[in-house]
Amino acid sequence: MADADHAGWAGRSVIRVVPPARPRKLAKVPFVELADGRLQGVVSSGSDIERVYVSSIASGTHAYHCSTNNNRPCGGLRGAPCKHLEALADEAVVQYGIDRVARYLRADVAAEADSGAELLAGLDARHEPTPAAVVFSRFLRHLSYLEVPATTTPLPELHWFPATGAGR
Amino acid sequence: MLATQLAALTGTAPTGLADALDLVAGLDAALTRGLARVGEEDAAALAALAAALATTPLGDAVTEAVGKIVAGSVTEEHLAVLAGARAALLGAGQDALLGQFDAALGRSRSPWTPASPAIPAETAPPRAGARAWLHEVAVAGWLGVDHELVAAAGTPVEAALAVPASRRLAVLLDGFAAELRACVPVAALPQPPVRRWGDLWARAMLLAQDATPAADAGEPVSGRLLPLGVDVHEHATAVQVQVHAILEPADGGPPRLVRTAVGAAKVDTIVGPAVWRLLGAYPVLRQALAQRRGLTVTDLPARGADLLWRDDRARPDEPVDPFAAARVLLPSAVAVAGAPLDRHPAVIAEPVLVEGHTVHVDGDEVSLALDGHRIEVAVDRLPACGPLTPALVAASTACLGLLRWDGGRWLLQPLGVRATVKRKPVDAHAGDWADGVTDARVAKAEAKAGDAVAVLTERAGRLLRR
């Protein structure tokens, strides 16, 4: 969902429809997104620099899962969300704001809630395995943008996408 | 800009503009509901569009396309014609608005010189995939777009991004699809951005045509480049820094109003001053912006007002005060009309200098007034990668900016301001942090957050190509 309660959107060409991500530290959770009906992302392993965990929480059902990118279930899932899911929720709240995350997950959160832990606490969550491959390949696709060469070709279409001070 | 010039600009809208925009709105309403089954109201709007263009070279094609679409046969060719019709109306709108601007400000503008005739490219896969997706979206309408249809944009975006010649299409489609993804279901929006999505869809449809003119090499130009300011564009996966400048040609001749752009792909978590780190390939340009220097350029290819940046053909020159450069050179600088297919009121970006104004702040809205004639400031367009803030604009005694037109009115987008802060004059320009943040407080916050580009590059190096 975008912040669409602006008046006068209908007759304007240049508006920031998707609010920009708010800055956050990426070292622990390099990738978070609200897509495919899930809050999903990738969490770096604290012990092995080569390993990452793929964590997700489904919109609506609130089914959660966490595994390595090779589909080995996370050892931290013992009837409750693991620390990777907590980190994912925390960083999602920083990046998108708790309202946007809660709205996407269709979750009820207390009015004063502002952390991932409070978001998770408000879910009637249960564990349900989901394949990690889709999320992991989306992460790789995400990273591949950084390998696209810079360009000096003018892109006039970007006049529709002004940089804003939001998130400053 | 003088008070009389502002008065002439904001006095009356160009004749016919409102009618043209009404026709566009009719088409946009049809695109909102989708072209799968065109209702009576949308059929009437499409017929009005065809009637308005009947005497133009597009006339027959639009009449035929509208007839077929209303009868239920929606092909990519028909949609391309609709996109062309929309672009023609808005292109004429831009012409009228720029004509009004040039008359009000006394700016001279040389016409666009056509490039060598377009050679139709062979059917390139990225374009065919993009056309197919745009066709599906138009048939479904904004209201009918679902997650599956949005996700289907991924393949054409990836294909287009892999080919430098289709970069414009790739960047546009990616930004458009991301908006639709964030807004599904569109019916839940109180007011969908229908003009905007019509713009993005139509522009993408035109860029996805195989006959899209290939960019020519351009004419080489040399001389002294005096930057006026930096306009920053970004969406989740792209950033572009467009420098507006005055070129003093080495071979004499009047100063030229030009611009040059450098851009990079990015991801949504790279925001604020970090975007400059993606432009590491252009150190000469970045340093010139950060140090407010002129540049000596040799044989930069120019297409109209656009100089194609080559960092190795530029070297730093003397310091330049952008306000002084604008005051002295802007009134006599010659502008160039844009490429015909690129015309649209939203791409109007005319450098102007406003001085001796009063500032009016009303909630989040800021406007500047010259002798009682007001212009609204686009305070939402102050980029987070630079030092400009609404407070600085409110404290300004001089403002160098771009005149824009959107939502039925002229707007001023500040690129640099001279302000009085704690009784001292302060200059702030959008490109000040091009070579690193110079504000201690912001730099500290940046350092605390860590280097997003470095973290993701490390992850990419470790996880990609496995």
Q: Which of B269, B271, B312 is most worth mutating to test chain A (most A CB atoms within 10 A of its CB)? A: B269
Is the domain spanning B219-336 CATH 2.40.50? The answer is yes
Chain A positions in Cβ-Cβ contact with residue B463 (cut-off 8 Å): 52, 139-140, 143
pLDDT band at A3 (very low <50, low <70, confident <90, very high): very low
Question: Nearest-CA distance from B99 to chain A in Å?
Answer: 20
Closest-approach residue (CA) in chain B for A15: B196
- Which sign, positive or negative, has the C-alpha torsion B156, B157, B161, B166? positive
Quick one: average pLDDT of B389-398? 96
* SS3 at position B295: strand
Hey, where are the domains in chain B?
Answer: 16-207, 219-336
Sign of the CA dihedral with A146 first, then A148, A153, and A156 last: negative
Least confident of B111-120, B170-179, B396-405: B111-120
What are the pLDDT digits (tens) for B68-93? 999 999 999 999 999 999 999 999 99
Classify residue B217 by burial, with Cβ atoms within 10 Å: 0-12, 13-18, 19+.
exposed
Residue B110: pLDDT over 90: yes
Closest Cα in chain B to A6: B191
- Domains of chain A by residue range: 31-144
B95: left (phi over 0), alpha (psi -120 to 50) or beta: alpha
Range in A27-36, A66-75, B113-122, B230-239 with the lowest mean pLDDT: B113-122
Residue pair A119/A113 in contact by the 8 Å Cβ criterion:
yes
Residues A126-137 have a mean pLDDT of 91
Kindly determine whether residue B272 and residue A1, on different chains, have CB atoms separated by under 8 Å: no
Question: Which of B164, B167, B450 is facing A27, going by the closest CB pair?
Answer: B450
> Could you report the per-residue pLDDT of A8-55, keeping only the tens digit for each?
788 899 999 988 898 899 999 999 999 888 999 999 998 888 889 999
Give the DSSP letter of residue B63. H
Rounded Cα gap, residues B287 and B285, in angstroms: 6
**Distances from the Cα of A80 to the Cαs of A121, A160, B100, B462, in angstroms?**
10, 44, 65, 30
For chain B, percent of residues with pLDDT exceeding 90: 85
Most confident by average pLDDT, A3-7, A108-112, B174-178? B174-178
Nearest chain B Cα distance for residue A36, angstroms = 7
B94: chain A residues, CB-CB within 8 Å: none
For residue B457, the model assigns a pLDDT of: 87
Chain A residue closest in CA terms to B310: A152
What DSSP string runs through B409-455? EEEEEEEEEEEEETTEEEEEETTTTTTS---HHHHHHHHHH--HHHH
Mutation to test the B interface, candidates A49, A147, A160, most B Cβ within 10 Å: A160
Would an 8 Å CB–CB cutoff place A95 in contact with chain B? yes
Q: How many residues does chain A have?
A: 168
Q: How confident is the model at residue B120 (pLDDT cuts 50, 70, 90)?
A: low
B462/chain A closest Cα distance in angstroms = 7
B442-450 CB contacts, 8 Å cutoff, 24+ apart:
B442/B273, B442/B387, B446/B272, B446/B273, B446/B274, B449/A23, B449/A24, B449/A25, B450/A25, B450/A26, B450/A27
The partner residues of B171 in beta bridges, in order of sequence, read none
Percent of chain A residues past pLDDT 90, beyond the cut: 58
| Cα–Cα nearest to B256, from B286, B221, B231 | B221
**What are the chain A neighbours of B460 within 8 Å (beta carbons)?**
143-144, 146-147
DSSP-assigned states of every residue in B331-361: GGPEEEPPPGGG--GGG--EEEEEES-EEEE
Give this prediction's pTM: 0.95
B390 contacts A165? CB cut-off 8 A: yes
Given an 8 Å threshold on Cβ–Cβ distance, is B457 in contact with A146?
A: yes
Per-residue pLDDT at B215: 62
Closest partner residue to A30 among B271, B413, B459, by Cβ?
B459
Reported ipTM: the value is 0.96
Q: What is the pLDDT of residue B21?
A: 96
> A152–B261: do the CB atoms touch at under 8 Å?
yes
Q: Dump pLDDT digits (tens) for B237-267.
A: 999 999 999 999 999 999 999 999 999 999 9
pLDDT of residue B448: 84
Cβ under 8 Å to B: A residues 117-136: none
Mean pLDDT of B178-206: 93
Tokens 């004749």 correspond to B15
What SS3 class is residue B216? Answer: coil
For B287-300, the pLDDT digits (tens) are: 999 999 999 999 99
